[in-house]
Amino acid sequence: MKDKKTEENPEASSSAEVRQLMDLLRTLARAMGFSNAALARRADVSLASLVRYFKGDAEPRLDFVLAVVRAIGLDVREFFEMAYPERAEATAARQRIEKILGPIRPGKILESPPPKTPEPQPEASPLRREDIERMLEDLRRDVREIMEKQATGNAAAAGDEELDLPSPRNKSGKR
């Protein structure tokens, strides 16, 4: 239940909630054996900021909270599950969101699909000299056959009528 003070001033409510999160974070850090200095070093945050936030003199930014949570060895989700145990009944807003999203589940929206496993490729064997020579011989034979077919086709056409073919061009394009 909200008291009249928090209903009138929503910032007071969020400040109280931030204070609770920082108290939990400080308690967890102490339970894990961290001093303020060691935690600040491990989280790569300023010691002065850490002390100020733990004392409640200022409200931290989200990136600070996440860095400290990770520094004590918790997954961010674990920390927030500890801070906000599962509710017996979802709020009206959550129910509406789930209805709108349908099969898409919050928390799964931003997950990328698992990487595809590459299909196995046939093992390539190095070409041997004999293989290359056989391929070249096949190519020469194919080219000879094509040339013979063209020559026979051209000879038959030339026998029927005389072809008026343009003379070949040189590199400059002149005849």
Q: Report the CATH number at residue 39.
A: 1.10.260.40
pLDDT in tens, 124-167: 777 788 888 898 899 999 999 999 988 887 766 665 555 555 55
Buried-state track 134-162, b at ≥16 Cβ within 10 A, e below 16: eeeeeeeeeeeeeeeeeeeeeeeeeeeee
Q: How far apart are CA 167 and CA 13, in angstroms?
A: 94
Has residue 133 been placed in a domain? no
Domain count for the chain: 1
| Position 101 confidence tier, pLDDT thresholds 50, 70, 90 | confident
The answer to which of 26-30, 92-96, 118-122 has the lowest mean pLDDT is 118-122
Has residue 28 been placed in a domain? yes
Has residue 158 been placed in a domain? no
